[in-house]
A and B are shown apart, each in its own frame.
Chain A
């Protein structure tokens, strides 16, 4: 099932409205009862996550009644929705507030992510910044674009390849166990710079805009990565699992490196991930 330009415009509008109505009024306005811990003190869910996901899900069900809808909160209720992404004719994957730790701490770094998956391929990706109302998007085969709230738009391109000592990159080692955790944390010293924002929306945003050189994660929650990986690929980048195979939307393991090109990918795998 194909997704057309009108559908994309509809999706962007739903994400924008969720930001205005459910997310921004709650930024720096949460009371204690609005924040709950999921698996740990850094894995949080707020009223903004729940209500934004509910709002977007409802709009999607009306327009696409047959589609599979996968949200971070929906997954907590039914884990079979993720493997189903590899086969569904049409599916939507939502992260209503990516960067919930930041959102709850009052840090202005969070985004709303929406991916469209058709027959096991990500065909469209949207990452929206609810604070300023700007959006980066990609449709498979159509390039990646940044569209400002005022409608101005420009095409995105990943950074030029460079040697490891000149690279700036992000590895989510804090989510890994030992021995990878210590090995990779130490290897990061080989880079020009590394940092960590607790927000995959902005990791992919910077990657697609050519402001950083690579991103790597071990665990692949589809709501965190599918839209960003497509946008990165459409901006000219190369990504694959740690073993070199292509990522499929329903896979949560195998790790990922997203870099400027195949050679940069191999350099990061060897020098930073240490494989």
Chain B
């Protein structure tokens, strides 16, 4: 069923959406272009909405049988997420991952898509609009950094090291308030804990072998 989705087509679609709807808005958002979702740090912008609209339209044209699950579509219809488990084919999209950064003018954001077949993730793509390249994987075929020129480089995670030597990413903002101080205090045990507020770039950096761990509490698909 993987063959149902040519991931090169999906990868190019993410790039097209970034160029048409995301990059032209970076550092150019007016106050009315940014809105708060669940709380002051959970934002949505015109770029998220327009990019998702474009990707959704093309996904529906290219793969009419796929269930389309986008971050902004789910925000409008939370029951959409329930369709993921039972679907023969689903395409999950985050049009701008790292919206807080995007809205703050910080260039760490990405466009992500995954392909899920009957409850199993079979492909994942992360596009970086700043570097104009993708990291992507199809289940069983390794992880690759690909550039529009056709260049490709296989990715490998870092070798394991002891806790006190680990560098990595820890997102603690969604941990229950009482537990949070304990976890944050424990983080002092690692060599370094960063948090870029952008899973796209964190997974990209992790897959490239530049850090040793990535830790999240809230796991939206």
Is B truly associated with A? yes
Which chain A residues have a beta carbon within 8 Å of chain B's beta carbons? 27-28, 40-42, 104-109, 129, 131-132, 134, 146, 148, 166, 168, 173-174, 178, 181-182, 185-189, 192-198, 202, 205-206, 209, 211-212
Residues of B within 8 A of A211 (CB): 103-106
Q: How far is the CA of A40 from the CA of B184 in the complex (A)?
A: 23
Q: Is the CB of B131 within 8 A of A106?
A: yes
21 example contacts (A-B, Cβ-Cβ < 8 A) are as follows A27-B131, A105-B205, A108-B107, A108-B108, A108-B128, A108-B131, A134-B27, A166-B40, A178-B188, A182-B185, A185-B187, A187-B181, A193-B173, A194-B173, A194-B195, A195-B197, A197-B194, A202-B106, A205-B105, A211-B104, A211-B105
Q: Is the CB of B107 within 8 A of A131?
A: yes
- Which of A105, A186, A205 interacts with B181 by CB under 8 Å? A186
Indicate with 1 or 0, residue by residue over B62-101, a CB within 8 angstroms of chain A CB atoms.
Answer: 0000000000000000000000000000000000000000
Q: Is the CB of A41 within 8 A of B167?
A: yes
The residue of chain A having its C-beta at the shortest distance from the C-beta of B153 within the complex is A28
> SS class of chain A's interface: helix, strand, loop or mixed?
mixed
Q: How far is the CA of A178 from the CA of B55 in the complex (A)?
A: 49
Q: Is the CB of A132 within 8 A of B196?
A: no
Minimum CB–CB distance for B193 against chain A, Å = 6
Q: How far is the CA of A146 from the CA of B105 in the complex (A)?
A: 11
Minimum CB–CB distance for A103 against chain B, Å = 11
B210 within 8 A of A: yes
With an 8 Å Cβ cutoff, the count of chain B residues facing the other chain is 39
Minimum CB–CB distance for A172 against chain B, Å = 10
B204 within 8 A of A: yes
The residue of chain A having its C-beta at the shortest distance from the C-beta of B179 within the complex is A189
B133 within 8 A of A: yes
Q: How far is the CA of A195 from the CA of B201 in the complex (A)?
A: 14
Q: Is the CB of B40 within 8 A of A148?
A: no
Q: Is the CB of B173 within 8 A of A196?
A: no
Residues of A within 8 A of B40 (CB): 166, 192
B156 within 8 A of A: no
The residue of chain A having its C-beta at the shortest distance from the C-beta of B171 within the complex is A195
Q: How far is the CA of A185 from the CA of B182 in the complex (A)?
A: 9
Minimum CB–CB distance for A81 against chain B, Å = 28
Q: How far is the CA of A178 from the CA of B185 in the complex (A)?
A: 11
Residues of B within 8 A of A192 (CB): 40-41
Contacts A42-B167, A132-B107, A168-B41; A181 near B188 (Cβ below 8 A)? yes
Residues of B within 8 A of A193 (CB): 41, 173
Q: Is the CB of A42 within 8 A of B192?
A: yes
